Amino acid sequence: MFLFLPRRLENQDLLSSEEFDCYDGFGQGTFQRRLLLLCALAIFLKNSHVYALLLRTEDIDHWCKRPQHWNMSTQQWKDMAIPLEADGSYSKCHQYANPSVDNGTRTIPCIAWEYEEEQAATSVVSQWDMVCDRQFLRAALAFLHVAGLILVGLAAGFVADVAGRRPVLLASAVTLLASTIVLFLGRTYLVHAVALFFASGSAAAQFIVAGTLFFEVTTHENRPLHVVIACIVAVSGSELWFAVMRLVRMDWTLKQAVFLAPTFLSVAAFCVGVESPRWLIAKARFREAEDAMFAAAKTDKFPLCNTACLLDKLKSKAANSCNPDQRTVALEMLQGTSIRKRAMAALCTYFSAYFVLRIVVSSSLVPLALMLPLVSLALVALSSAGTLFVITRVTLLQFISACFAVIGVLLCMSSLAIAFDSLVVKQGLVVSSKGLVIVGYIVLATYSLELFPTAIRGTTLGWIHGFGGLGAVMSSVCMRLQNVGREDLTFAIAGSLMFASLLVLRALPR
């Protein structure tokens, strides 16, 4: 809670950990490359567990089940007992009260269901009948997934600031492995739901801590670019992996096992996961910081005498951190463009980014088969390449502002385009929006890491990530407008959020 009670930070040294460049302490090389790969893996696994929920709960065709003693084909049963909807399709949730060749019009809800034979084994929906009046079971899984992401992420960020990055990183890796194995083996709804909560939460925790750790050991000059590269590689990889697995037809348990198999790579945290020297200095644990920085310097083949010289300077500054002048500087960091003000601005923009991303991904205008495997993946790659080119030429805040402005315009155009018949134009607008939202979210995450001191960086990222999850939840409520034929309003709301975010971004330092 230090994030929203900033005066409790007055007695902490917020400055020493921010007053040195890692390049002066242990250089740039193999040490950072290892943690870049660990960061990319954590982001990949977080996205994979989000997509795994979509894979295992895909919609499949269903209808009321035939009585066991009725010997007739599926088509004969449908013609006799299943009423037609307004669009001419068979009802999925009702049947005639008295099925016969000459039946009446009174219908009753299904008490059991049959599923399309080729699709039944591909989704967990058929195993627990999560359809019609039992759809709340599927909604509950989605709720638990987001709840785990938010609650465990918040806790992980806070503990990482209090106890260190490495303990949380290792604990999240163990929890992620264990919960994923339970997801593979669990056959009851309750076991699956509990495992899903911890899997999504530990994946989020690993993402938060690995991202924070990599940021804190990267040199100032390379921080934005390298963090963006790690995110882009991971996000593009998870998009491609999801696109490939959606095209594969197999039993949902086997597909889930194959899709989440990369989770076992999280054991890499035990090999390359280290404690952040910057966090150790923020906590005035100089003996441990010295060991960590010397180890990193040896890995990067950096002169140890330079490392020792920097440590002596940091110890000297820390010894004088309680003088009035430095206390005044620390207080100034908490006032003006304050930590609380920055935090609220970052929370709001993250909420908007997740909200809009969920809206464009779930749009009914673009079939999922088109969006993910082909057009969307290509546009994400194109947007990512453009980001890497532009990010070194403008400030992060300028890039985010321009990106959000373009997204807002595209979404407003999508809202207006609903009234026209050109499907290609509408598809192009929505898919383009998705590519830009993804890169905007990536750069926003990178910028958020720069806004806060090491002492509360993990807590901040946990809260920001949690608000993103809330944005995804609220988008689900908004998407109900699609069911009543008003998808234009969903795009209008999403576009308005982007423009509102532009105003919020003005509160952030340049």
488 Cβ contact list (under 8 Å, min separation 6): 414, 415, 416, 418, 419
Gap between the Cα atoms of 368 and 237, Å rounded = 17
pLDDT, averaged per 10 consecutive residues of the chain (510 residues), comes to 56 68 85 91 91 82 78 76 76 76 70 78 80 83 89 92 91 93 87 92 92 89 84 84 82 86 89 88 86 89 87 76 50 55 84 85 60 56 66 79 88 78 72 80 84 85 88 80 74 87 78
CA distances 204 to 45, 146, 197, 226, Å, are 9, 10, 11, 20
DSSP 301: T
Domain end among 299, 316, 335: 335
254 Cβ contact list (under 8 Å, min separation 6): none
Q: Are 215 and 17 in contact (CB under 8 A)?
A: no
Q: Is residue 151 part of a domain?
A: yes
Residue 187, Cβ density class (10 Å: 0-12 exposed, 13-18 middle, ≥19 buried): exposed
- Same domain, yes or no: 327 and 419: no
pLDDT for the residue 155? 92
- Same domain, yes or no: 181 and 279: yes
One-letter amino acid identity for 44?
F
Q: Are 120 and 63 in contact (CB under 8 A)?
A: no
Domain end among 335, 360, 395: 335
Token readout for 427 is 């598809």
Gap between the Cα atoms of 472 and 33, Å rounded = 32
Q: Is residue 442 part of a domain?
A: yes
Encode pLDDT of 289-323 as tens digits.
Answer: 889 889 989 988 888 888 888 888 888 776 665 55
Range of the domain at 74: 62-115
pLDDT for the residue 440? 84
pLDDT for the residue 24? 85
pLDDT for the residue 179? 93
Residue 145, Cβ density class (10 Å: 0-12 exposed, 13-18 middle, ≥19 buried): buried
- Same domain, yes or no: 209 and 286: yes
- CATH code, 32: 1.20.1250.20
pLDDT for the residue 63? 78
pLDDT for the residue 370? 45
- Same domain, yes or no: 297 and 366: no
Q: Is residue 121 part of a domain?
A: no
- Same domain, yes or no: 188 and 70: no
Gap between the Cα atoms of 283 and 289, Å rounded = 10
Domain end among 288, 320, 335: 335
Q: Are 330 and 14 in contact (CB under 8 A)?
A: yes
- Same domain, yes or no: 360 and 278: no
- Same domain, yes or no: 319 and 420: no
pLDDT for the residue 9? 58
Token readout for 362 is 């779930």
- Same domain, yes or no: 217 and 141: yes
Number of domains in the chain: 3
